[in-house]
C-alpha cells in the first residue's frame, strides 16, 4: 500500500484548502482587532475608547474587566488575557475592538487612547540574571562528580554561547472564528496545535464549562510550536465578542502584528566547561543554561528542561552537572518552537566538540566518534539507557558515504591555496569548512500526563471509514500517517478512509500535537480502536462463512422472515492489547479466510452484515506510553520512550570579503525505524534541516533599545530561500528494524532533523578557524554574514570600533 503524498496535497496545489480566513462570513459576523502595547514596561492607567466608539461601524470595545477569569497559562497561570494594571512587553494585548468591517476596525484601533506610566524594562538575559528575575527555580541534572573530575582532567576548555530567538514564520498567522450556538454553547474554529487548551482557556475566560465550548481545527498553515499555547488567547478574544454580542466574530492577525505580539524560540545564554584527556574523551561537563522566558512563563520551564536533557546529545559523559534557569524579561513570552529546547543543549555540546578537536589538533569527527554512546557507555546523565543504539552505525556509515576523510584533505588543500593566493578559478577566494554533527532526540513529553492520546474510528455500512483523533494537521502529514495505519489494520484502499477535522466534542482532553508525538500517540490510539473493530468483523466473517448465503441477515432481516442468529463474541480485550486475528486476512477491500482461501467477502458487504446483525462498527481507542518515570525534582529517570537519531555532514563556503555563507553540500542520514510513509518522512527531514539552517545563519531578530521588534515582516526577516539550500543535498534513511517500542516500529520525525542544521553552523566555524588561524571562533547563533566577517577579522573590527582605523 503506497500513498506518497499528503492527503491535502491536491487541494493545496489547487488553492482549495480551507483555512480560518477562507471560511465564508456568516450573517452579522464581526471583525475583531487587538490594540497592543507600544512600550515594554509600564503601569496601565487608563484605556479611553470613547472616540473609537464614535466611528461608524465600530460596535464594541472590550478590556480586561470583560473577562470572567483573566489569568491563563499552560504551566503557570501568570498571564492576563488582556493587560490590566501593568504592561509587561511590547505587543501585549490591552483591548479588543469589534467592528462591522475592516475599515471601521482599522480606524477604531487608531482612536483608542492608552494612558501609561512608563517603567524601565529589563530586556536581556544578563540583566535579568543580575537582578535575579527568574521564572521558576534553577533545575539540576547531575551524575558523578563533575567538579572533582574537572579538576583532575588533563585538559579543560570553557566558553559562553549566545543563541538568539527565531520567529516561527508560519504562513497562516494566528486566526480564530467564534460562533455562538442556539443552545448557549460556542463553536470556535482555531488555527491551533492544542484544541483542548483553546477549549479550556475560552471556557475559563468566559466563565463557561468545557462542555459548552467546542474547538475545531481543520488544518493550520504551519505551526512549528508557535500555535501550541499562544493560539488560546486569540481564540478567547473572538469568543468574548461572540458571547457578549451573540454574533459570530473572527480575529485574523496580519504578519506584522503576529510577529510583534507572539513569542519566539527562547534566546539562550550558556556557560560551559569541559574536561577531557589527550584523545579528546570527555571526563567532565559543567553547564549553566540561562534562557529568556519573556514576560510570562508560557512553556519556558519545560523548554529549559529539554535543553538540559539534550546537553549530552549523542555523547557519553561520565561526570556531568547540568543546570538551567529561566529568566524573566520584558519581552514577548517565548514559546515552543520545533525542537523545543533540544537545539540549545545540542548546540553547546557540538561546539565543545569542535573546540576540543581544535585544542588537541585532531579531527572533530574523531572526537565525536570516540565520545559516542556505545557498548556499556550507554546511560545518559539522567539515568536512561540508550536502547536500540544505532549512533555508532550512523557515524561510521556517513563517514564513508560522504567521503568525509577525502573531502577533509581536499578542503584543507583548497584553503591553503586560497590563503597563499595560489588558487585560481571559480570561487577562488572562498574559504571552505566542513563538520559532522549528530542528534539523539528523545521522543515523548517530559510532562508524563501529556503522553496519552485517544481516537474514534467509525466504519459505515458501505465499508468506508472515518477517523477522529486529537492530532492536528499543520502540513506535517499526521492525518496521512494515521489514515495509513488504519488502512493497514482494516485492509482498505486510500479512498475509503478519511481523517476528520480535530474537534473537542469527539476527542476530549487531548494533548497538543507537539514533541514529535502526534502520530505516536494518536496513531496508536487509532490502531487500538481499529483492531477492536477488526476483531469483531472477523467473528462476523466466521459466522457468514459457516452460514449459507441465503440465510445471511442481508437476505432475511429486511423481510423479517428469520431472526438473525446470535453471534458469540469472545471476551473483549483491553485497550492495552488487542490480539491479531489469525483466521482472516483483511486486504485490498476484501476479507479472506486463511483456512479456506477460496472464501472471501468484500469489506463493504461484511460491514453491512455486521450492522444487520447489530454488531458495533465504531470504537474508541485510548493509548498511553508506559514506563516513563522521569523525576523532575531529582533530574533522574526514564524521560523518553525512545530516541530518534541521525548524523549530518555539511560543507560550506565563506567569502572572506563579505562573510557570506553558501551551503555547498549536505549529507544526512536518519534513523526513523520503519517509516509509515517514507515520502512524507523525507519531506520532514529536508524541511526541518532547511528551517534550522535559517535559524543558524540568516534569521536575525532586530529589536530597538526599548524592546520593539523591528524585523517584523518578510522584508526584514530572512527565512531560507531556494538560494540558501545545499547545492548538493543527499538524504538517506537508515534501515532499522530493531525499534519495537513504537507503533508499527516507526520513529518520530518532526523535530529531530532540525538539530542537524548545527552541522552548518559548526562548519562555518571550521572555515573561519582555517581562514584566520586562530582558535575555534565564538560565533553567535545566527551566524549572520556580519558575525562571520567579524570572526574572520576580529582585530580589524576592534580597531575600527575603537576609532583607530
Active site residues: 751
Angle at 28 between CA 24 and CA 34, to 5 degrees: 85
- Answer yes or no: are the C-beta atoms of 238 and 215 closer than 8 Å: no
Spatial contact of 138 and 633, defined as CB atoms under 8 Å apart: no
Closest residue by Cα to residue 565 from 584, 583, 592, 540: 540
Question: Beta strands 175-180 and 113-118: pairing type?
Answer: unpaired
Identify how many contiguous H helices and E strands the chain contains and give both numbers: 22, 29
Instruction: Please say whether the beta carbons of 511 and 193 come within 8 A.
Output: no
Which run of H or of E encompasses 139?
strand 134-143
Please report the DSSP string for 312-331 in residue order. Answer: STTB--SSEEEEEEEEE-SS
How many C-beta atoms surround the C-beta of residue 384 within 10 A?
Answer: 20
Give the residue ranges of DSSP H helices in 168-278.
195-206, 231-245, 255-261
From CA 388, how far away is CA 289, in angstroms rounded?
A: 29
CA–CA distance from 792 to each of 163, 657, 797 (Å)? 19, 9, 10
Write the CB contacts of 617 (distance below 8 Å, at least 6 apart in sequence).
Answer: 458, 459, 460, 461, 533, 607, 610, 611
CA separation (Å) from 717 to 107, 274, 698, 705? Answer: 28, 35, 8, 18
Q: Which residue has the cell 493497514?
A: 488
Compute the distance between CA of residue 326 and CA of residue 329 in angstroms, rounded to an integer: 10
- Say which residues have a Cβ less than 8 Å from residue 262's Cβ, sequence separation at least 6: 91, 168, 174, 226, 230, 332, 335
Closest residue by Cα to residue 345 from 117, 596, 139:
139
Q: Which three cell numbers stand for residue 511?
A: 494533548
Distance of CA 418 to the CA centre of its chain: 41
The x, y and z cell numbers of residue 729, run together, are: 543535498
Residue 145 contacts residue 381 (beta carbons within 8 Å): no
Distance of CA 289 to the CA centre of its chain: 21
- Using a 10 angstrom Cβ sphere, with 0-12 exposed, 13-18 middle and 19 or more buried, the burial of residue 263 is buried
d(CA 290, CA 268): 6
Beta bridge partners of 466: 458, 498
Give the 3-state secondary structure percentages of the chain, helix then strand then coil, rounded to 5: 35, 25, 40
CA 296 to each of CA 79, 94, 137, 353, 764: distance values in angstroms, whole numbers, following the listed order: 6, 15, 14, 34, 35
CA 236 to chain centroid, in Å, comes to: 23
User: Residue 194 contacts by C-beta under 8 Å, 6 or more apart in sequence?
Assistant: 227, 228, 229, 231, 232, 472, 510, 511, 512, 513, 514
CB-based burial, 120-140: b 16+ in 10 Å, e otherwise = ebbbbbeebbeeebebbeebe
Count other C-beta atoms under 10 Å from residue 104's C-beta.
Answer: 20
CA 278 to CA 776: how far, in whole Å? 18
What would the DSSP string read from start to end of 590-645? EEEESS-TT-EEEHHHHHHHHHHTT---EEEEEEE------BTTTTBS---SEEEE
Amino acid at each position: 500500500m503506497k500513498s506518497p503524498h499528503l492527503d491535502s496535497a491536491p487541494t493545496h496545489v489547487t488553492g482549495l484548502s480551507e483555512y480560518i480566513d477562507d471560511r465564508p462570513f456568516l450573517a452579522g459576523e464581526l471583525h475583531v482587532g487587538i490594540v497592543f502595547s507600544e512600550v515594554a514596561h509600564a503601569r496601565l492607567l487608563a484605556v479611553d475608547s470613547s472616540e473609537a466608539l464614535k466611528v461608524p461601524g465600530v460596535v464594541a470595545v472590550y478590556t480586561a474587566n470583560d473577562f470572567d477569569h483573566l489569568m491563563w497559562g499552560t504551566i503557570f497561570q501568570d498571564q492576563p488575557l488582556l493587560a490590566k494594571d501593568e504592561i509587561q512587553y511590547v505587543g501585549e494585548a490591552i483591548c479588543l475592538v469589534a467592528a462591522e468591517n475592516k475599515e471601521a476596525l482599522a480606524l477604531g484601533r487608531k482612536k483608542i487612547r492608552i494612558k501609561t506610566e512608563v517603567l524601565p524594562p529589563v530586556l536581556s538575559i544578563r540583566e535579568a540574571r543580575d537582578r535575579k528575575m527568574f521564572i521558576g527555580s534553577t533545575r539540576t541534572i547531575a551524575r558523578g562528580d563533575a567538579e572533582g573530575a574537572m579538576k583532575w582532567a588533563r585538559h579543560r576548555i570553557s566558553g559562553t554561547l549566545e543563541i538568539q530567538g527565531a520567529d516561527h514564520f508560519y504562513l497562516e498567522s494566528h486566526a480564530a472564528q467564534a460562533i455562538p450556538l442556539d443552545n448557549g454553547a460556542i463553536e470556535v474554529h482555531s488555527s491551533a496545535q492544542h484544541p483542548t487548551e483553546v477549549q479550556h482557556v475560552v471556557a475559563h475566560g468566559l466563565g463557561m464549562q468545557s462542555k459548552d465550548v467546542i474547538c475545531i481545527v481543520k488544518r493550520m498553515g504551519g505551526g512549528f510550536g508557535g500555535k501550541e499555547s499562544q493560539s488560546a488567547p486569540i481564540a478567547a478574544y473572538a469568543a468574548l465578542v461572540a458571547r457578549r454580542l451573540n454574533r459570530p466574530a473572527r480575529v485574523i492577525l496580519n504578519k506584522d502584528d503576529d510577529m510583534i505580539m507572539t513569542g519566539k524560540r527562547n534566546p539562550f545564554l550558556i556557560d560551559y566547561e569541559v574536561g577531557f584527556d589527550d584523545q579528546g574523551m570527555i571526563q567532565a561537563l559543567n553547564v549553566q543554561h540561562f534562557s529568556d522566558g519573556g514576560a510570562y512563563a508560557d512553556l519556558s520551564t519545560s523548554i529549559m528542561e529539554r535543553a538540559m536533557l539534550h546537553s549530552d546529545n549523542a555523547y557519553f559523559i561520565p561526570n556531568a552537572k547540568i543546570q538551567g534557569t529561566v529568566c524573566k524579561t520584558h519581552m514577548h513570552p517565548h514559546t515552543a518552537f520545533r525542537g523545543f529546547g533540544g537545539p540549545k543543549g545540542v548546540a553547546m555540546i557540538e561546539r565543545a566538540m569542535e573546540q576540543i578537536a581544535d585544542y588537541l589538533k585532531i579531527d572533530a569527527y574523531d572526537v565525536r566518534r570516540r565520545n559516542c554512546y556505545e557498548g556499556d557507555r550507554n546511560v545518559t546523565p539522567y539515568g536512561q539507557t540508550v536502547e536500540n543504539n544505532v549512533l555508532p552505525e550512523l557515524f561510521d556509515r556517513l563517514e564513508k558515504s560522504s567521503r568525509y576523510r577525502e573531502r577533509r584533505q581536499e578542503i584543507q588543500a583548497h584553503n591553503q591555496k586560497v590563503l597563499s593566493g595560489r588558487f585560481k578559478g571559480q570561487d577562488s577566494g572562498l574559504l571552505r569548512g566542513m563538520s559532522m554533527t549528530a542528534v539523539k532526540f528523545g521522543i515523548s513529553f517530559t510532562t508524563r500526563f501529556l503522553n496519552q492520546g485517544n481516537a474514534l474510528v467509525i466504519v459505515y455500512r458501505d465499508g468506508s471509514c472515518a477517523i477522529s483523533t486529537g492530532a492536528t494537521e499543520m502540513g506535517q502529514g499526521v492525518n496521512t500517517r494515521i489514515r495509513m495505519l488504519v488502512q493497514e489494520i482494516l485492509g482498505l484502499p486510500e479512498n475509503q478512509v478519511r481523517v476528520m477535522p480535530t474537534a473537542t466534542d469527539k476527542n476530549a482532553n487531548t494533548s497538543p500535537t507537539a514533541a514529535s508525538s502526534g502520530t505516536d500517540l494518536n496513531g496508536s490510539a487509532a490502531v487500538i480502536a481499529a483492531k477492536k473493530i477488526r476483531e469483531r468483523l472477523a467473528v462476523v466473517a466466521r459466522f457468514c462463512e459457516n452460514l449459507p448465503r441465503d440465510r445471511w441477515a442481508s437476505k432475511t432481516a429486511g423481510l423479517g422472515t428469520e431472526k438473525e442468529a446470535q453471534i458469540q463474541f469472545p471476551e473483549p480485550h483491553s485497550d492495552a492489547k488487542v490480539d491479531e486475528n489469525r483466521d482472516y486476512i483483511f486486504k485490498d477491500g476484501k476479507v479472506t479466510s486463511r483456512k479456506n482461501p477460496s472464501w472471501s467477502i468484500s469489506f463493504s458487504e461484511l460491514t453491512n452484515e455486521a450492522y444487520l446483525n447489530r454488531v458495533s462498527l465504531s470504537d474508541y481507542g485510548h493509548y498511553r506510553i508506559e514506563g516513563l518515570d522521569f523525576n523532575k525534582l531529582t533530574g533522574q529517570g526514564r524521560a523518553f520512550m525512545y530516541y530518534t537519531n541521525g548524523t549530518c555532514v555539511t560543507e560550506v563556503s565563506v567569502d572572506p570579503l563579505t562573510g557570506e555563507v553558501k551551503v555547498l553540500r549536505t549529507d544526512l542520514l536518519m534513523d526513523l525505524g520503519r517509516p509509515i510513509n517514507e515520502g512524507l518522512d523525507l519531506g520532514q527531514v529536508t524541511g526541518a534541516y532547511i528551517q534550522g539552517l535559517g535559524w543558524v545563519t540568516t534569521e536575525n531578530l532586530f529589536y530597538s533599545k526599548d524592546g520593539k521588534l523591528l524585523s517584523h515582516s518578510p522584508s526584514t526577516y530572512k527565512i531560507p530561500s531556494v538560494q540558501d539550500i545545499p547545492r548538493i543535498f543527499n538524504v538517506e534513511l537508515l534501515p532499522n528494524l530493531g525499534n519495537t517500542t513504537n507503533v508499527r516500529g516507526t520513529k518520530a520525525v518532526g523535530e529531530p532533523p532540525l538539530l542537524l542544521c548545527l552541522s552548518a553552523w559548526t562548519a562555518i566555524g571550521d572555515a573561519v578557524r582555517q581562514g584566520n588561524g586562530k582558535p575555534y571562533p565564538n560565533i553567535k547563533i545566527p551566524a549572520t554574514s556580519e558575525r562571520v566577517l567579524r570572526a574572520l577579522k576580529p582585530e580589524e573590527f576592534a580597531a575600527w570600533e575603537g576609532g583607530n582605523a
